[in-house]
Amino acid sequence: METGQKYFILIVFAFLHIYNVCVANVKWQARPISISKNTTDPNYMDLNVKIERFGQGEFAFTGTYFTTIEMDESVTVELRIYSCYSGNEADYKLTPYSIQPQKFIDYLNTFYKDLLMKNLGDCTDLPKYEDGYVPPWPKGTFNFTRCQISGEGMPEVVPEGFYKALVIISALPAVELQFTVILKVTTKMF
């Protein structure tokens, strides 16, 4: 599987809490289609990431994440995963893998520390927590420079089709950030 593509899959599956499944030989591949975002107030929180394509179908991500608010107990993260076979906007259906809003802080000691940071490695200056999250989450601009991921913890089989992951980081009333990642999954031919 190509490295940059794994980042999209990571975002989707890391939230599904199956990231501890270690699979050596995945039978599918994914191609990023788009990434988009909305923020209710870019002065409080923003994400600007773009897909870079290079070489033989390689992908990477470059951009910034920005926050100036207190990322405390009140901040939640929600994930909605939609899928469809056709790729037509009207055909997307919500999947059972979606998860209700959970505390942002609860992600830091699980998915963030164990999977996201291990996979991203040194392409980002986001904080690293080897021994568990120590508050507060720092404010400021964090950078992603040609991030590709190592691909830990991917499921072996994923049905073909289009997948849309909508992530909602909510710190209302101050700010709500939404971002959407669309990718296309195909079965690998050996």
Ligand X SMILES: *[C@@H]1O[C@H](CO)[C@@H](O)[C@H](O)[C@H]1NC(C)=O
Residues that bind ligand X (CB under 6 A): 36-38, 125, 140-143, 178-180
Minimum distance from residue 148 beta carbon to ligand X (Å): 19
Q: Which is nearer to ligand X, 120 or 154 (CB)?
A: 120
Nearer to ligand X by C-beta: 36 or 186?
36
Angle at 72 between CA 71 and CA 76, to 5 degrees: 80
Residue closer to ligand X by CB (options 19, 82) is: 82
- Closest approach of ligand X to the CB of residue 146, in Å: 14
The tally of CA atoms less than 13 A away on the side-chain side of residue 4 is 22
Output the smallest distance, CB 125 to ligand X, in A. 4
What is the three-class DSSP state of 121? Answer: helix
At 115, give phi and psi (nearest 5°): -120, -55
Decide whether 19 or 163 has the Cβ nearer to ligand X: 163
Backbone angles phi, psi at 124, to 5 degrees: -130, 150
